[in-house]
Copies of this chain bind each other. A is one copy, B any other.
Amino acid sequence: MSGARDGNGTGGRPKRPTMVDVAREAGVALRTVSRVVNDDPTVGPEYAAKVQAAITALNYRPDERARQLRTGITGTIGAAVRRIAEVNPELAAIEQTARESGLTLFAASTDFEEAREREILVSMCRQRLDGIIVEPFGENHGYLQPELDAGMPVVAMDRPMSGISVDCVMSDNASGIGTAFHHLTRYGHRRIAYVGDREQVYSGRERAAAFRAALGAHGQSLDGLVHPGEITPERVAAALDTALYGPEPATALVTGSMDTTLTVLRVLGPKAASRLAIVGFDEVPHADLLQPALTVVAQQTAKIGRTAVELLLARMADPGRPVQAVVVPLTLTVRGSGEIPV
Q: Could you say which residues of chain B place their CB within 8 Å of the CB of A122?
A: 61
Say which one of A9-17, A40-48, A212-220 lies at the interface with B: A9-17
- Considering the chains assembled together, what is the distance between the CA atoms of A262 and B87 in angstroms? 15
Residue A290 interfacial (CB < 8 Å): yes
Q: Which residue of B lies closest to A274 (CB)?
A: B291
Q: Could you say which residues of chain B place their CB within 8 Å of the CB of A65?
A: 65, 68-69, 74, 127-128
Q: Is the CB of A13 within 8 A of B149?
A: no
- Considering the chains assembled together, what is the distance between the CA atoms of A146 and B61 in angstroms? 10
Interface residues of A in 269-289 (CB under 8 A from B): 270, 284-286, 288-289
Q: Which single member of B59, B146, B147 contacts A150 (CB below 8 Å)? A: B59
- Can you report 26 residue pairs joining A to B where beta carbons are below 8 Å apart? A12-B319, A13-B150, A13-B319, A16-B150, A59-B150, A61-B122, A61-B126, A63-B69, A63-B126, A64-B128, A65-B65, A66-B69, A69-B69, A84-B88, A84-B107, A85-B86, A85-B88, A85-B89, A85-B91, A85-B107, A92-B109, A107-B107, A262-B289, A266-B288, A270-B291, A289-B290
- In angstroms, how far is the closest chain B Cβ from the Cβ of A231? 15
- Considering the chains assembled together, what is the distance between the CA atoms of A74 and B127 in angstroms? 10
Q: Which single member of B59, B61, B69, B95 contacts A85 (CB below 8 Å)? A: B95
A266-B289 contact in complex given A14-B150, A61-B125, A127-B65, C-beta closer than 8 Å: yes
Q: Is the CB of B13 within 8 A of A151?
A: yes
Residue A108 interfacial (CB < 8 Å): yes
Residue A104 interfacial (CB < 8 Å): yes
Interface residues of A in 142-186 (CB under 8 A from B): 146-147, 149-151
- Considering the chains assembled together, what is the distance between the CA atoms of A122 and B207 in angstroms? 45
- Considering the chains assembled together, what is the distance between the CA atoms of A262 and B290 in angstroms? 12
Encode contact with B along A106-134: 1 for CB under 8 Å, 0 otherwise.
11110000000000001101111000000
Q: Which residue of B lies closest to A108 (CB)?
A: B105
Q: Could you say which residues of chain B place their CB within 8 Å of the CB of A284?
A: 286
Q: Is the CB of B106 within 8 A of A106?
A: yes
Residue A3 interfacial (CB < 8 Å): no
6 smallest A-B Cβ distances: which pairs? A13-B151, A59-B146, A85-B91, A85-B92, A85-B88, A64-B126
Residue A246 interfacial (CB < 8 Å): no
Residue A342 interfacial (CB < 8 Å): no
Interface residues of A in 42-101 (CB under 8 A from B): 59, 61-66, 68-69, 74, 83-92, 95
Residue A265 interfacial (CB < 8 Å): yes
